[in-house]
Chain A
Amino acid sequence: MLNINSLNVSYGAIHALKGISISLNEGEIVALIGANGAGKSTTLNAISGILHPDSGEINFDGRSIAQSKPGEIVKQGIIQVPEGRKIFSRMSVYENLEMGGYSLSNKNQLRENMAQVFEIFPRLKERQKQLGGTLSGGEQQMLSMGRGLMAEPRLLLLDEPSMGLAPMLVEQIFTTIAKINNEGVSILLVEQNAQMALALSNRAYVMETGKIVLSGPSETLMENQMVKEAYLGG
């Protein structure tokens, strides 16, 4: 479904991604783990078209999207849920979700999707008139994900969904991710919480300073000595 081939991205003089290759099949959950500054978010931004690569290929369903604009990429079904629960804090929950469906032209479709999002996140339905900024951290993350789902993604790019949340909420969020995946949405998950990410995903890539240093099925990686030491606390 998604094929990234020797992708290079730089911010001016800083070479952030040094020829990484990643693939993801329809229906999979693939995790991308690594420390701060390894290039995980950069990878997601390159896929969603917010950054443009210097060289390398990004193919979605066989078509190259490396130079496409974010709007076009959204229309093809790749939706990014940005890091740090970036919601529109002065818009209501309802309006936030509406914004998520910005690329849809059909109003009925918008309503259907909204109903579906409310089914996954009943909490959002209760709070639909509240301003985004007044939600709790966990609710904001739900809203951020719900907004992503509004655009009918085929591939959801999740950037650190567990960031800054209490352990109980992290578990809730991860359960929801599995639920979304069951509905047929493929997921590329960037996480620092390696334990949870590996437990949830089918396959995983380990990034270090702009390169992929390890990859394979998640169960195998969990047993890997290096991964254990560096990311799972020994």
Chain B
Amino acid sequence: MKQNKIKQGVITGLTFGLIFIFLILTGFTQVGSDMIGNLLGNFEKAGAENALPVINLILFTGLIGLLMGLSTSKANLSNTWLASLLNSILAGLIAGLLVGAVILVTGSFHSQGVDFRNYLPKLGSEQMNYLLHYTTPLAAGTTYLITSTVASLIGGAIGKAFRQQSWTAHSMTWTKNTVKNIGKKLKLGQSPQRKIITILGLIVAGGLLYLLPLVWGSYWNYTMGTVAIYILLGIGLNIIVGFSGQLVLGYVAFFATGAYTFALLTAPQPHAILMNVWLAVGISVIVSTLTGLLLGLPILNLRGDYLAIVTLGFGEIVRILIRSDLLTFLTNGPKGVTNVVQPSWLGKVFSDVNYTHFLFLLVLIALFIAKRLKDSRTGRSWIAIREDQTVAQATGINTFKSKLLALALGAALAGLAGALFASRNQFTGPEDFTLMVSVNVLCIVIVGGMGSLPGIVVGAMVLKGLPEILRELDDYRLLVFGALLIAMMIIRPQGLWPAKKVSLELQRKDSLGDNIQEVEP
């Protein structure tokens, strides 16, 4: 029993210690401290030696210690105060010792003139000095140890206090009940009122969508435009992956097809077709749809992993073809297509405000269509295929046709998004269409919650909007991305805004199961 009680602290300490070392080696501690500095307003470099305020780094260390303490308390619900605090101290000591040791070793090497940059590009001389708090390795290591232990103890105490009082639990149930009661009051025989509230909500939301682009400036218009394009892509891929369950990894191919079709039809170079913008958008969508059909015909009989691999290849093939010598006469090769035309209405070219409005409108229309599709007979047949293709077939669904339709619709939306993307950037080149685009869109669908439409909006905001806003994290985008995805899958496997049914299934996993014993005959 006693051993078990200590085990929690040891494990937490080891985990957080290793995470912190990882953060140090990748240079993330610097970013974290700078962000704290930004918050506190003491980011400015002080003194003649260009020294950054050490307090920020110590605060960052403390923050991690605090988190560590909180997480030890979480695991020890039934423990006494003493045991709980002991665990926090233990975790803090272990993590502090680990980090301190690393600082001690690297610091000693550093003071002897070893340059780590060859192996760890983020650990230059300046960064090392900062990590050492501009003192000796021993002093710095001790500071880390003390900070970590004290912070962990504080975190543990706070966590324990919260658990003890179970404030969190109380407030949670209170919120839930209040929401429920309001919901009941609104529903109980007062449907006209409910309707009015819904309509009011829609008007406010619509007003915001109209007004915000007018006031928030071109930077936000650009960012939200990108988000909107990715929402369109997300809705399209969601039809394929979320609804019909076909794991297509080369979705970027349709995006590229749309963008290039539009660019080549409207740009003065290399073909000078100079087609009307709206006609070109229509043709881009049609060409992408045809690409979807063409790809679907041979491969849709593949299932699962095989389909994923083949489509992954297809995405890359399209990009490589576009930039190849073979097709340079058609696509302008690696140079890309410049001077792609921007949309205009009655002879007036869209301003960025018009453009954002237009994108928002398209997103709303696409969301509406997708919602209607989901609840239709076709949508049901997709979901049936996702659940079990063989059974779907046995109920009389033409699975091939159904899957092909999903792929074609998804491709059409990607084509539309591609055309808008090319026209907004007034440029399109092969490097806009790497595998990362497919991965990003897939992440949006998964993070938002498979098959859920509001989830896509939230997912696109988080995955495309946040990196734009958190510019400081730029170098670490992939790191944060990966960490976020792993954390998501552990904490919220159903997605940020899951489809209702999926969340039911994933949350109540333990209460599922047969109450009749399964016996293999």
Q: Is A19 positioned at the interface, with any CB of B under 8 Å from its CB? A: no
A:64-100 near B, CB below 8 Å = 69-71, 74-75, 79-80, 82, 86-91, 95, 98-100
> Are A79 and B516 in contact, CB atoms less than 8 angstroms apart?
no
Q: Which residues of A contact B49 (CB under 8 A)?
A: none
Task: Choose one: B384, B393, B504, B508; the contact of A70 (CB below 8 Å).
Answer: B393
Stretch with Cβ within 8 A of A (4 or more), from B5-13, B30-38, B395-403: B395-403
Give chain A nearest CB distance to B392 CB in angstroms: 8
> Are A88 and B387 in contact, CB atoms less than 8 angstroms apart?
yes
Give chain B nearest CB distance to A65 CB in angstroms: 14
B:378-395 near A, CB below 8 Å = 380-381, 383-384, 387-388, 390-395
> Are B398 and A166 in contact, CB atoms less than 8 angstroms apart?
no
Task: Choose one: A70, A75, A89, A162; the contact of B387 (CB below 8 Å).
Answer: A89
Alpha-carbon distance A159/B518, docked complex (angstroms): 17
Alpha-carbon distance A91/B377, docked complex (angstroms): 14
Give chain A nearest CB distance to B505 CB in angstroms: 6
Q: Is B517 positioned at the interface, with any CB of A under 8 Å from its CB? A: yes
> Are B505 and A131 in contact, CB atoms less than 8 angstroms apart?
yes
Q: Is B519 positioned at the interface, with any CB of A under 8 Å from its CB? A: yes
Q: Which residues of B contact A98 (CB under 8 A)?
A: 380
> Are B380 and A71 in contact, CB atoms less than 8 angstroms apart?
no
Contact (A138, B501) CB under 8 Å given A71-B397, A147-B395: no
B:38-95 near A, CB below 8 Å = none
Q: Is A175 positioned at the interface, with any CB of B under 8 Å from its CB? A: no
Q: Is B502 positioned at the interface, with any CB of A under 8 Å from its CB? A: yes
Q: Which residues of A contact B189 (CB under 8 A)?
A: none
Q: Is A151 positioned at the interface, with any CB of B under 8 Å from its CB? A: yes
> Are A164 and B394 in contact, CB atoms less than 8 angstroms apart?
no
> Are A192 and B521 in contact, CB atoms less than 8 angstroms apart?
yes
Alpha-carbon distance A169/B519, docked complex (angstroms): 13
> Are A99 and B517 in contact, CB atoms less than 8 angstroms apart?
no
> Are A70 and B396 in contact, CB atoms less than 8 angstroms apart?
yes
> Are A102 and B395 in contact, CB atoms less than 8 angstroms apart?
yes
Alpha-carbon distance A94/B516, docked complex (angstroms): 22
Closest to A147 in B: B395
Give chain A nearest CB distance to B120 CB in angstroms: 46
> Are A103 and B502 in contact, CB atoms less than 8 angstroms apart?
no
Alpha-carbon distance A136/B512, docked complex (angstroms): 9
Q: Which residues of B contact A27 (CB under 8 A)?
A: none
Q: Is A134 positioned at the interface, with any CB of B under 8 Å from its CB? A: yes
Q: Which residues of B contact A160 (CB under 8 A)?
A: 521
Q: Is A133 positioned at the interface, with any CB of B under 8 Å from its CB? A: yes
Q: Is B475 positioned at the interface, with any CB of A under 8 Å from its CB? A: no
Contact (A89, B516) CB under 8 Å given A71-B398, A102-B381: no
> Are A136 and B516 in contact, CB atoms less than 8 angstroms apart?
yes
Q: Which residues of A contact B377 (CB under 8 A)?
A: 102
> Are A137 and B390 in contact, CB atoms less than 8 angstroms apart?
no
Q: Which residues of A contact B396 (CB under 8 A)?
A: 70-71, 74-75, 102-103, 151
> Are B521 and A91 in contact, CB atoms less than 8 angstroms apart?
no
Q: Which residues of B contact A100 (CB under 8 A)?
A: 395
Q: Is B165 positioned at the interface, with any CB of A under 8 Å from its CB? A: no
Q: Which residues of B contact A140 (CB under 8 A)?
A: 514
Q: Is A50 positioned at the interface, with any CB of B under 8 Å from its CB? A: yes
Contact (A91, B394) CB under 8 Å given A131-B504, A164-B519: no
Q: Is B515 positioned at the interface, with any CB of A under 8 Å from its CB? A: yes
Contact (A89, B397) CB under 8 Å given A164-B520, A164-B521: no
Instruction: Give per-residue flags for A48-73: 1 if the beta carbon is below 8 A from chain B beta carbons, else 0.
Output: 10100000000000000000011100
Q: Is A165 positioned at the interface, with any CB of B under 8 Å from its CB? A: yes
> Are B395 and A74 in contact, CB atoms less than 8 angstroms apart?
yes
Give chain A nearest CB distance to B287 CB in angstroms: 30
Alpha-carbon distance A162/B504, docked complex (angstroms): 28
A:129-174 near B, CB below 8 Å = 131, 133-134, 136-138, 140, 147, 151, 160, 162-166, 169
Q: Which residues of A contact B398 (CB under 8 A)?
A: 69, 71
> Are B521 and A163 in contact, CB atoms less than 8 angstroms apart?
yes
Give chain A nearest CB distance to B14 CB in angstroms: 38
Q: Is A193 positioned at the interface, with any CB of B under 8 Å from its CB? A: yes
> Are B391 and A102 in contact, CB atoms less than 8 angstroms apart?
no
Alpha-carbon distance A165/B514, docked complex (angstroms): 10
Contact (A103, B395) CB under 8 Å given A95-B380, A98-B380, A134-B512: yes
Closest to A159 in B: B394
Closest to B519 in A: A164
5 residue pairs of the A-B complex, CB under 8 angstroms, read A88-B384, A88-B388, A103-B396, A133-B505, A164-B516
Q: Which residues of B contact A (CB under 8 A)?
A: 377, 380-381, 383-384, 387-388, 390-398, 501-502, 504-505, 508, 512, 514-521
Q: A74-B396, A86-B391, A102-B377 are in contact. List 16 more A-B contacts (CB 8 A).
A: A48-B394, A70-B396, A75-B396, A82-B390, A89-B387, A100-B395, A102-B380, A102-B384, A102-B397, A134-B512, A137-B514, A137-B515, A151-B395, A165-B516, A166-B517, A193-B521
